Amino acid sequence: MKKFFVLALVPFLFTACASVQEAENFANCTYALRSIEVSDYNVDSLSFNVYLGITNLNRREAAAIKKFEGKMYMNDTEVADVNFEDVRIEPASYKNQKVHLTVPMSALNGKLLGLVSMGSATVDYHLTGTATFDTPLGEVPVPVDIGRIGSNN
């Protein structure tokens, strides 16, 4: 009976080890707001591209983000939802993930709109959300919280 129990337990242990390894790979990622560029604006909305830098510090394993769901803030004002899926970062490498956002003008006050449209260094950008990746035991969410204050970051 003990042999049967041990044999039944072995696949579970391998799965758990694989899950821990994937979690370690993902935990070895760092995030940064690399660049924010206004791409278009009109009476109704302001569009811009956000470049989120993701660095995989693991030298042996790739990191794979299944999905990212978050919010972008400018000077503490929530302006847009940020979502992307299926991003893979090779070992000891980085990727600048481009996310196109469209912000309704109603979400921006006059001062903030002027600063953003001029590319001002006094705008505080902040991105917060959850990156999710798959493991053999299910999806694992990892919180991400990054900011760029003016041109200092």
Strands 93-104 and 45-56: what pairing?
A: antiparallel
> Exposed, middle or buried by CB within 10 Å (0-12, 13-18, 19+), for 102?
middle
Q: What percent of the chain has pLDDT over 70?
A: 67
Q: What is 2-149's CATH number, 2.60.40.1820, 3.40.640.10, 1.10.260.30, 3.40.50.10190?
A: 2.60.40.1820
Q: What is the DSSP letter of 80?
A: E
**Paired residues of 118 in beta bridges:** none
Averaged confidence pLDDT in the chain: 77
Tell me the whole-structure pTM to 2 decimals.
0.71
> In angstroms, rounded to a whole number, what is the distance separating the alpha carbons of residues 109 and 120?
15
* Per-residue pLDDT tens over the stretch 71-117: 998 888 888 999 999 999 899 999 999 999 998 888 777 666 666 66
pLDDT digits (tens, 9 = 90+) for 2-59: 565 545 545 554 555 555 555 555 557 888 888 888 888 888 888 889 899 999 888 8
Nearest alpha-carbon partner for 88 in 45, 54, 136, 115: 54
Instruction: Tell me which residue of 145, 116, 112, 117 sits closest to 129, measured CA to CA.
Output: 145
Distances (CA, A) of 134 to 24, 25, 44, 59, 137: 13, 12, 38, 20, 8
How many C-beta neighbours within 10 Å does residue 21 have?
14
